[in-house]
Structure 1
């Protein structure tokens, strides 16, 4: 994925917050959306290592930041502690973080491979393989059919964002 991680994070976070059985104040909703956006690109922090230290020797999807077990291990204890203490905002923050990280890995699995079963099985899994036809590697992805899925996700997020703010603007005008 190139351009769809942030928009997909926005969409899934908004959907999750809409389906919650309890509501949050506007500033808490904004916080949770920000957390979702941050987490939607968090696994790609490994790109810093990929370019600065690894000199592009290994596919960054093979790093530990792109393994579900790493993220599950990080979030398991905080999730249990917060669930026991019944802190709704903190629990929702952790759920939004984990949900967006896992969505990132799922989206990466469409046109790349992820170590979903690591460390039990050291095999990567992906939906399709993007053939290397062009010397400039991004062109291989931009011209692949899977990029249309990214465009669809971006378009849906833009539509949802426009719809949300136009409804909010109408509500403000009605109350004025």
Structure 2
């Protein structure tokens, strides 16, 4: 995924807001947590470019290990189940679910090491052949980019389709 992580985080956050309606959290905070969580695994790009000098596929970094995000999401869900009025627990859960969503979406056409650190084997549903330079042109001209555009359109329509009462502050 190149452009659909933030929109997917928005869709995730808006779709789960009704499930945490009892938590003392604003809808804007939930949306922010969903978007940040959906982008969080790619924060490793700074290390990738500035320190690692692009020597290691950034999906091999711990920030892209599904076990990390699944463990954090499970811990956050447990925390939220015991502290349903905790703003931090609710936002932590949404953020971690955004991280899980990120690695799941990256698995569509990008290698993800689903069993890291135990097995050094990447998995992807589809492969994008390296046909063009620069590398990102191969992704944009591949059929899978239509899925990214569909996610972006879905997020846009979700945002426009609401008269934004869901994005107003919600306090008990």
**Higher relative contact order, structure no. (Cα contacts within 8 Å, ≥ 6 residues apart):** 2
Equivalents in 1 of 2:105, 2:92: separation in Å?
20
Equivalent residue number for residue 128 of structure 1: 126
Equivalent residue number for residue 158 of structure 2: 160
CA contact (8 A) 2:80 2:90 kept: no
Deviation at 1:88, TM superposition (A): 4.3
Equivalent residue number for residue 9 of structure 2: 9
Equivalent residue number for residue 170 of structure 2: none
Equivalent residue number for residue 63 of structure 1: 61
Structural mapping, 1:127-146, within 5 Å? 127-146=125-144
Equivalents in 2 of 1:144, 1:156: separation in Å?
20
Equivalent residue number for residue 172 of structure 1: none
Deviation at 1:159, TM superposition (A): 1.0
User: RMSD value over aligned CA atoms?
Assistant: 2.1
Equivalent residue number for residue 43 of structure 1: 41
Equivalents in 2 of 1:3, 1:53: separation in Å?
24
TM-score of the superposed pair, with normalisation by structure 1? 0.84
Deviation at 1:92, TM superposition (A): 1.9
Question: Unaligned regions of 5+ residues in structure 1, if any?
Answer: 170-176
The verdict on how the C-alpha distance between 1:168 and 1:65 changes in structure 2, with shifts beyond 3 A counting, is closer
Equivalent residue number for residue 108 of structure 2: 110
Deviations 1:8-58 (A, max 9, x none): 11001101113x163467x61111111111111000011001110111111
Equivalent residue number for residue 22 of structure 1: 21
Q: In proportion to residue count, which structure has more helix?
A: 1
Equivalents in 2 of 1:61, 1:76: separation in Å?
21
> Larger Rg: 1 or 2?
1
Question: Unaligned regions of 5+ residues in structure 2, if any?
Answer: 166-172
TM-score of the superposed pair, with normalisation by structure 2? 0.86
SS at 2:133's partner residue? coil
